[in-house]
Amino acid sequence: MQLYNSLTAAKQEFVIPTNRPVKLYVCGVTPYETTHIGHARTFIVFDVLIRYLRWRGAEVQYCQNVTDVDDPLFERARRDGVSWQDLTEDQVAWLLHDYATLNIEPPTYFPRASEEISAMIPMIERLIDLGHAYVRDGNVYFSVRTDPEFGTLARMGYDEMLATANQRGNKPDDSRKEDPLDFVLWQTGNPGDPTWDSPWGSGRPGWHIECSAMSTRYLGSRIDIHGGGRDLLFPHHSCEIAQTEPVTGQRPFVDVWMHAGLVWFDGEKMSKSLGNLVFVRDAATKYGPDALRWQLLSRPYREEFDYQHEETDRAKSTVERLRQALRTTGGAGDALDRADARDAFRAALDDDLDTPLALTILAGLANEILAAASEGRDVAQAQHVLAELVGVLGLRVADEKLA
């Protein structure tokens, strides 16, 4: 199996372990305005990866976090006049509802940052002891100058890294920093923010240390695959590498970094700030979960994705044709033997999870079944192959026909 590693910018062989589970960590949501199509695409991509690995016989330990300690969540809670805890509960409930709607497998571990503070503090203490972090007025910062490889994942120069970090919450004018790019490990926070006790005083963790603590706590010091949306390449995942590897001693602590391309809507980047979010609950109600899943898998996962309602409508027609192929009844003529479709399907997903090709194979097989059935041929075996393969992609279309 070949997977594209964002760290090396190349495909590399991924050997599925036979004596232990595959360890997968995917950065989850900050729980407000969930679940939109951008979330769904990322999580469906990794859901297919998990299903495929299990189809290949692997055990998978999958950890996906909830970032419920973060500025955007607290700001939204204040704006709406609700507690951050109530907002979190409401949004996580929507997330789990949408997962069930889209047939996304639940994670093995689903930790919330607010419940994992005890794992973050020792990591921060260790970084201070190692000289990678420093304390200023109850705040703790990671010193990027102590890591000569900082930002390698992002392939950016210093100026571009700083500009990107500033767009995503960095405070370059913080006078307590030794370098404007240094990032927060622990902070006193804003008035009204939740706080926890620490050796540096009352405060809360920075965003990046949360995932480092949760990934290593639940999956150990070496992770096979770490994923998320492409917008996490920098600063989030770059900071994770910088702060995790000195503590664990594992270099690299992740074997393969996988990133899904961002989602656009009718030619514009889909974002909370632009107010052009498309929510799963609306699209799935209108087109059906299988059609939405089909549409979100119809482009290479690393590419940007321009979501358009018209294309989801066409996906709905394609899914209906698969349904017809599984429901049709053939005759007693020559059997349609398409066991070889499994090999083609496997080859597609082995090539960096080529879901567009896998979908093409399924659509072609459905057409062959319908044509063969109309000629009176026996299509039962081909239907079983189709039912098996659509299940690997998480489509429920086969559930109505074959148990």
Domain of 370, CATH number, reads 1.20.120.640
Question: What pLDDT score was predicted for residue 256?
Answer: 98
- Judge if 115 and 174 occupy the same domain: yes
- Judge if 388 and 244 occupy the same domain: no
- Judge if 221 and 352 occupy the same domain: no
> Is 279 inside a domain boundary?
no
> Is 109 inside a domain boundary?
yes
> Is 403 inside a domain boundary?
no
- Judge if 139 and 23 occupy the same domain: yes
- Judge if 253 and 316 occupy the same domain: no
Segments forming the whole domain that contains residue 358: 311-392
Question: What pLDDT score was predicted for residue 269?
Answer: 75
Helix (H) or strand (E) holding 370: helix 355-374
Q: For 185-239, write each residue's pLDDT tens digit.
A: 999 988 889 999 999 999 999 999 999 999 999 999 999 999 999 999 999 999 9
Q: Is pLDDT above 80 for 2? A: yes
- Judge if 240 and 317 occupy the same domain: no
Number of domains comprising the chain = 2
Last residue in a domain, options 260, 292, 324: 260
Q: Is pLDDT above 70 for 342? A: yes
**Helix then strand then coil, % of the chain, to nearest 5:** 45, 15, 35
> Is 348 inside a domain boundary?
yes
- Judge if 234 and 327 occupy the same domain: no
With cut-offs at 50, 70 and 90, classify the pLDDT of residue 368: very high
Helix (H) or strand (E) holding 291: helix 289-296
Q: Is 244 helix (H, G, I), strand (E, B) or coil?
A: helix
Question: What pLDDT score was predicted for residue 400?
Answer: 57
Question: Taken in order 204, 248, 6, 141, is the CA torsion positive or negative?
Answer: positive
Question: Taken in order 343, 348, 352, 355, is the CA torsion positive or negative?
Answer: negative
With cut-offs at 50, 70 and 90, classify the pLDDT of residue 117: very high
Q: Is pLDDT above 80 for 111? A: yes
CATH code of 16's domain? 3.40.50.620
246 within 8 A of 132, measured Cβ to Cβ? yes
Alpha helix segments (H runs only) across 102-231: 117-129, 158-167, 207-219
Question: What pLDDT score was predicted for residue 125?
Answer: 98
10 within 8 A of 19, measured Cβ to Cβ? no
Average pLDDT on 318-328 reads: 96
- Judge if 253 and 322 occupy the same domain: no
Q: Please, which residues have CB within 8 angstroms of residue 79's CB and are 6 or more apart in sequence?
A: none
Question: What pLDDT score was predicted for residue 28?
Answer: 96
Average pLDDT on 113-141 reads: 98
> Is 181 inside a domain boundary?
yes
120 within 8 A of 205, measured Cβ to Cβ? yes
- Judge if 70 and 133 occupy the same domain: yes
Residue-wise burial string across 27-58, b where 16 or more C-beta atoms lie within 10 A, e elsewhere: bbbbbbbbbbbbbbbbbbbbbbbbbbbebeeb
- What rounded mean pLDDT belongs to the chain? 95
Other C-beta atoms within 10 Å of 240: how many?
A: 26
- Judge if 101 and 222 occupy the same domain: yes
- Across the strands, what pairs with 306? 264
Q: Is pLDDT above 90 for 267? A: no
Q: Is pLDDT above 80 for 271? A: no
Specify the higher pLDDT residue, 214 or 270: 214
Average pLDDT on 299-323 reads: 95
- Judge if 252 and 366 occupy the same domain: no
| Nearest Cα to Cα of residue 398 among 357, 374, 369, 372 | 369
Last residue in a domain, options 244, 260, 276: 260
Question: What pLDDT score was predicted for residue 402?
Answer: 40
> Is 21 inside a domain boundary?
yes
Of 117-121, 123-127, 241-245, 303-307, give the lowest mean pLDDT range: 303-307
24 within 8 A of 46, measured Cβ to Cβ? yes
> Is 387 inside a domain boundary?
yes
Angle value at C-alpha 61, between 58 and 62, nearest 5 degrees: 120
Q: For 14-23, write each residue's pLDDT tens digit.
A: 999 999 999 9
> Is 283 inside a domain boundary?
no
Q: Is pLDDT above 50 for 401? A: no
